Amino acid sequence: MQFQRSDFPEDFLFGVATSSYQIEGHGFGGAGRTHWDDFAATPGNVVRAEHGARACDHYHRYEEDLDLVQAAGFDCYRFSTSWARVMPDGKTPNQEGLDFYDRLTDAMLERGIKPCATLYHWELPSPLADLGGWRNGDIAKWFGDYTETIMGRVGDRMYSVAPINEPWCVAWLSHFLGHHAPGLRDIRAATRAMHHVLLAHGTAIQTMRGLGMSNLGGVFNLEWASPADDSPEAAEKAALYDSIYNRWFLGGVFNGEYPANVLAGVEQHMPQGWQDDFATITAPVDWCGLNYYTRKLIKPDNTPWPSLDEAEGPLPKTFMDWEIYPDGLYKFLKRTKEDYTGDLPLFVTENGMAAPDKLTNGACEDPDRIAFLSAHAAQIQKAIAQGVPVGGYYMWSLLDNYEWALGYEKRFGLVHVDFETLERTPKSSYHALKGALRALT
Ligand code: IFM
């Protein structure tokens, strides 16, 4: 690793991130059916129709997994609680699910790891999907009730909490592009989801404040959009991409407004009285999380609004076919401070890469991941040097896991998982990080 702990401010936090459906094994512990189970059971949606019923069996192996977090020297573990595990029908508590997150929390604390929770990382209970899911404005209240139930049980021991992971994925990717559950391709559904996901975020923040909780934030996935050529048309399309992907969500939460170039097309689909919801959406948070992976080059095409066409980029790519563009992380840290968050602490809540990692003689060498993490850490250092208040860096992910519609072959882990035997093998990136994160003496 080309960085070490001492290159960062003394209170800077290093963490590693996962999510419930991707690792726990949703088939265990009385969890209810989710829209991801339905989506994966529909031929053509997910590679080999793979699903999360067993995943990494973290539900039974969490102690071993947290030992790995601790041994690497991470300060924080960013995990998510599953709505369908806590409330199988979306509304009624499941004691077994609550007990699991109670045990998991205590297991982190026993190891000196700060628990950093996300309340929704994409597994909506199917009975709520039946009611319209993110299209139904009532979801904000349902989500508030779920927040109260799970945080009523473990909220006293959380270091930090964010309500929703990556609102763009929840809304646009899943309701307009149709790549994730519920797999819709519908502009009206997407518009409603884009608004309701933020209303649910704000409702959860208010609910947790009501429980007396602090250190609450929002986690946004950001993708840098550059025009593919010098034409004004490409610049306009790249700006639209930026607004749909990035500015809608940050603008809603931090500035109480949506970008005009998106509203121009979607306002007719917004729920009645949507402007009044900003009072809830802008509920003050204590920090802002950025998940960053790549950039996109946007073509000056003639596709009908709001479709956008991407050009093939020239940079080296990860196994996801995503260009490696560390500069984008620096640019986003700067711009988020300037346009949205001011002096609020920023955290890089996800960053990492997929590779076709293999075990050879019991070891897994992943030099590309070491280079990737080093390059992005350098951009964080650059932003800090220029006065951006970055408080931490969380890597995605602890374990190889279920990469949604792409199944189990896109390996993002610092730790290799054999999905037959479930054996965990730390990769060379894990060992390199362990060296980099050694405590300061
Ligand atoms: O695996 C996902 C995660 O669930 C959300 N952020 C991006 C990761 C890599 O695609």
CA of 341 to the centre of ligand 1 (A): 24
Q: Is the CB of 291 under 6 A from ligand 1?
A: yes
Region 64-70 average pLDDT: 98
What's the rounded Cα separation, in Å, for the pair 171 and 429?
A: 33
List, by residue number, the catalytic residues.
166, 350
- Is 400's C-beta closer than 6 angstroms to any atom of ligand 1? no
Tell how far the Cα of 353 is from the centroid of ligand 1, in angstroms.
10
Residue 403 CA, ligand 1 centroid: distance in Å? 7
CA distances from 383 to 38, 70, 345 (A): 42, 28, 12
Q: What is the pLDDT of residues 358-397, one digit of tens each?
A: 999 999 999 999 999 999 999 999 999 999 999 999 999 9
Residue linked to tokens 């931490």: 392
Residue 324 alpha carbon to ligand 1 centre in Å = 16
Please determine, for residue 124, whether its predicted confidence score (pLDDT) is greater than 70.
Answer: yes
Residue 75 structural domain: 5-438
pLDDT bracket for residue 303 (50, 70, 90): confident
The CB of 243 under 6 Å from ligand 1? The reply is no
Longest dimension (CA), the chain: 62
Q: Does residue 241 line the site of ligand 1, with CB under 6 A?
A: no
pLDDT at 441 over 60: no
pLDDT band with cut points at 50, 70 and 90 for residue 153: very high
Which CATH number characterizes residue 371's domain?
A: 3.20.20.80
Burial 118-157 (b: 16+ CB within 10 A, else e): bbbbbbbbbbbbeebbbbbbebbebbbebbbbbbebbbee
> pLDDT > 90: what percent of the chain?
98
Q: pLDDT for 311-369, tens place per residue?
A: 999 999 999 999 999 999 999 999 999 999 999 999 999 999 999 999 999 999 999 99
Which atom of ligand 1 is least distant from the CA of 350?
6
Q: Ligand 1: does its nearest atom lie under 6 Å from the Cβ of 350?
A: yes
Q: How many angstroms separate the CA atoms of 431 and 106, rounded?
A: 26
pLDDT digits (tens, 9 = 90+) for 157-207: 999 999 999 999 999 999 999 999 999 999 999 999 999 999 999 999 999
Report d(CA 24, CA 59) in Å as an integer.
Answer: 5
Report the relative pairing of strands 390-396 and 346-350 from DSSP bridges.
parallel
Looking from the CA of residue 320, the nearest atom of ligand 1 is: 10
| CA-closest residue to ligand 1 atom 9 | 403
**What do you get for the CA distance between the two ends of the chain, in Å?**
19
Q: Strand 390-396 relative to strand 13-17: parallel, antiparallel, unpaired?
A: parallel
DSSP helix/strand/coil, 402: coil
Neighbours of 264 (CB within 10 A): 12
Top mutation candidate among 324, 397, 400, 411 for ligand 1, by most atoms within 8 Å of CB: 397
Q: How confident is the model at residue 440 (pLDDT cuts 50, 70, 90)?
A: low
- Nearest atom in ligand 1 to the alpha carbon of residue 354 is 9
Measured CA distances, 400 to 126, 257, 363 (Å):
26, 38, 15
Q: pTM of the entire structure?
A: 0.98
**What is the average pLDDT across 268-285?**
98
Nearest atom of ligand 1 to the alpha carbon of 401: 1
Count the residues in the chain: 441
Please indicate whether residue 126, judged by its CB atom, sits closer than 6 Å to ligand 1: no
**How far is residue 204's CA from residue 207's CA, in Å, rounded to a whole number?**
5
Query: At 415, is the secondary structure helix, strand, or coil?
Result: strand
DSSP 3-state of 325: coil
Residue 302: the pLDDT is 86
Total number of domains constituting the chain: 1
